[in-house]
């Protein structure tokens, strides 16, 4: 073939193009290979790092907010615990369960009521956290907070209506909360004395008392909510 | 005499026939072309290398910045865990307080009941038995003649007006005359205790002089936990 023969291939494919393009193409191939092997992974890594940095920056900006939130919550919890303690103090009072009989006797004497019976029924154990019982439990006592124990007593007494009313008021005024339930009053019958004069027997009072006291066996967690 | 030697150009005639310039255009040297191509290729590689160096520099900068923030994630997580734990603990304490306060409000006052019964029992009506069990109340007694039935009716109406009982729950269970006319009528009423809201309960207890329980509710009110 000479340069006088009609060109067989495309016009742009000539000696100059080939000589110029061959090394340029080789360079482009090397550049592409470098892009794939080095540039692209590095760019992706930079993108990931950038994203991570933005996340960390956002977290750093949240830190003061979180600290303030924590401070506020801890303060609110402390206030709530103080209120809880106040309520537990209202329930357990400052009186001692061991001296309750003496207090009861004193209040009965002051109101002119005669005590006939005092029968502890059953002590309900304080609720324990982890225990799972299969048998259906009775409805929980709303006043039986953790750290408190309950004693139930069946009390029988007798006196006139006003005396019994005064006695009940005195019981309610005790520092120890005395929860009354199943109140039963039965008026006495009229009997005749030796001289045949009618005499009204005193009214009989029958009452369940629930007494709450701080459980000293659990003294390491005094009245704290779970 | 010798003729000057001319460079032999065998294609000169053909060029003339085809109308091409008699002297062919000079070809650019291959070396120059190759160098040009190599320059282009090298420029491309250089651009890639420069970009790569730039990215490496940026990567280093980011790594330094990340190293400065290394502990932030753990600190944020720890704080978030503490916030969640404190919030849960606070909610538990508040629930406990609310439960205890509700329990205290629900404590029944025997003295308030007796005071109320004494106040509303009309003349000619005697109470012989009072039984309060759970939220149920049973009253028994004797109504004297004349108008014994009317007296019991008055008692049931007065009882229905008491804040301590549900008005519609008051029922006359039984009226029975045992003996002769004029001996009185045995009666029995039943009712159900009302569940009063705490502020109303406080008012009622104060009005009925049940000051022991009223004092406790006032303390709850002062502590801001009266439900």
Tell me the pLDDT tens digit for each residue of B40-64.
Answer: 999 999 999 999 999 999 999 999 9
Question: Hey, is the C-beta of B101 within 8 angstroms of any chain A C-beta?
Answer: yes
Answer left, alpha or beta for residue A212, where phi above 0 means left and psi between -120 and 50 means alpha: beta
Q: Count of CB contacts below 8 A, A vs B?
A: 239
Buried b (16+ CB within 10 A) or exposed e, A103-131: bbeebbeebebebeeeeeeeebeeeeeee
The pLDDT of A181-210, averaged and rounded, is: 84
Query: Where does the pLDDT of residue A39 fall: very low under 50, low under 70, confident under 90, or very high at 90 and above?
Result: very high
pLDDT at residue A68, rounded to an integer: 96
**CA A221 to centroid of chain Cα atoms:** 15
pLDDT at residue B129, rounded to an integer: 93
Which residues share a beta bridge with A180? A209
CB < 8 Å to A15, chain B: 27, 30, 33
Domain chopping of chain B, boundaries: 88-106+198-227, 116-194
Instruction: Work out the number of other CB atoms within 10 angstroms of the CB of residue A70.
Output: 17
User: What's the rounded Cα separation, in Å, for the pair A156 and B167?
Assistant: 31
User: What's the rounded Cα separation, in Å, for the pair B181 and A52?
Assistant: 98
Cis peptide before B146 (omega within 30 of 0): yes
Query: Where does the pLDDT of residue B16 fall: very low under 50, low under 70, confident under 90, or very high at 90 and above?
Result: confident
Model confidence, pTM: 0.70
The answer as to CATH 1.10.3720.10 being correct for domain B116-194 is no
The residues near A43 (Cβ < 8 Å, ≥ 6 apart) are B55
CB < 8 Å to B137, chain A: none
Nearest CA in chain A to B128: A187
Question: Hey, is the C-beta of B96 within 8 angstroms of any chain A C-beta?
Answer: yes
Chain-chain contact of A185 with B114 (C-beta, under 8 angstroms): yes
User: What's the rounded Cα separation, in Å, for the pair A40 and A6?
Assistant: 46
User: What's the rounded Cα separation, in Å, for the pair A194 and A188?
Assistant: 18
Residue A179 has phi, psi (to 5 degrees) of -90, 120
Which tens digits make up the pLDDT trace of A67-87? 999 999 999 999 999 888 888
When the pLDDT of each residue in chain B is averaged and rounded to a whole number, the result is 88
Our CA dihedral for A54, A58, A63, A64, rounded to 10 degrees, sits at: 130
To test the contact with chain A by mutation, choose from B13, B22, B34, B44 the residue with the greatest count of A C-beta atoms within 10 A, namely B44
Residue where the block lists tokens 């006797």: A105
CB < 8 Å to A148, chain B: none
CB < 8 Å to B62, chain A: 46, 49-50, 53
Question: Hey, is the C-beta of A37 within 8 angstroms of any chain B C-beta?
Answer: no
pLDDT at residue B187, rounded to an integer: 92
Question: Hey, is the C-beta of B53 within 8 angstroms of any chain A C-beta?
Answer: no
Chain-chain contact of A27 with B76 (C-beta, under 8 angstroms): no
The pLDDT of B131-144, averaged and rounded, is: 91
pLDDT reading at A157 higher than 60: yes
């Amino acid at each position: 073939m000479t340069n006088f023969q009609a060109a067989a291939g495309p016009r742009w494919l000539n000696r100059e193009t080939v000589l110029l393009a061959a090394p340029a193409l080789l360079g482009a191939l090397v550049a592409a290979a470098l892009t794939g092997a080095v540039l692209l992974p590095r760019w992706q890594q930079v993108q990931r790092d950038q994203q991570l940095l933005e996340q960390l920056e956002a977290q750093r900006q949240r830190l003061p907010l979180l600290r303030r939130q924590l401070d506020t919550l801890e303060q609110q919890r402390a206030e709530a615990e103080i209120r809880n303690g106040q309520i537990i103090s209202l329930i357990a009072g400052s009186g001692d369960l061991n001296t309750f009989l003496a207090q009861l006797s004193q209040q009965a004497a002051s109101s002119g009521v005669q005590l006939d019976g005092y029968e502890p029924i059953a002590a309900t154990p304080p609720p324990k956290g982890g225990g799972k019982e299969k048998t259906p439990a009775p409805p929980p006592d709303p006043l039986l907070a953790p750290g408190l124990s309950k004693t139930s007593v069946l009390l029988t007494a007798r006196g006139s209506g006003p005396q019994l009313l005064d006695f009940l008021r005195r019981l309610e005024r005790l520092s120890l909360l005395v929860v009354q339930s199943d109140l039963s009053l039965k008026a006495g019958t009229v009997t005749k004395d030796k001289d045949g004069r009618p005499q009204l027997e005193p009214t009989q009072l029958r009452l369940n008392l629930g007494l709450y006291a701080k459980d000293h066996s659990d003294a390491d967690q005094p009245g704290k909510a779970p | 005499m010798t003729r000057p030697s001319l460079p032999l150009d065998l294609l000169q005639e053909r060029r003339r026939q085809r109308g091409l310039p008699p002297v062919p255009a000079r070809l650019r040297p291959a070396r120059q072309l190759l160098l040009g191509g190599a320059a282009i290729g090298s420029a491309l590689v250089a651009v890639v290398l420069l970009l790569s160096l730039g990215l490496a520099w940026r990567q280093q900068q980011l790594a330094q910045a990340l190293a400065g923030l290394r502990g932030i994630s753990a600190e944020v997580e720890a704080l978030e865990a503490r916030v969640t734990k404190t919030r849960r603990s606070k909610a538990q304490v508040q629930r406990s307080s609310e439960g205890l306060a509700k329990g205290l409000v629900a404590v029944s006052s025997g003295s308030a009941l007796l005071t109320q019964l004494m106040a509303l029992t009309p003349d000619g009506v005697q109470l012989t038995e009072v039984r309060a069990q759970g939220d149920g109340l049973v009253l028994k007694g004797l109504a004297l003649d004349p108008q014994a039935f009317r007296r019991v009716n008055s008692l049931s109406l007065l009882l229905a007006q008491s804040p301590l009982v549900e008005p519609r729950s008051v029922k006359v269970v039984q009226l029975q005359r045992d003996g002769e006319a004029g001996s009185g009528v045995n009666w029995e009423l039943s009712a159900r205790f009302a569940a009063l809201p705490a502020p109303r309960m406080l008012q009622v207890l104060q009005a009925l002089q049940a000051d022991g329980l009223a004092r406790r509710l006032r303390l709850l009110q002062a502590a801001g936990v009266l439900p």
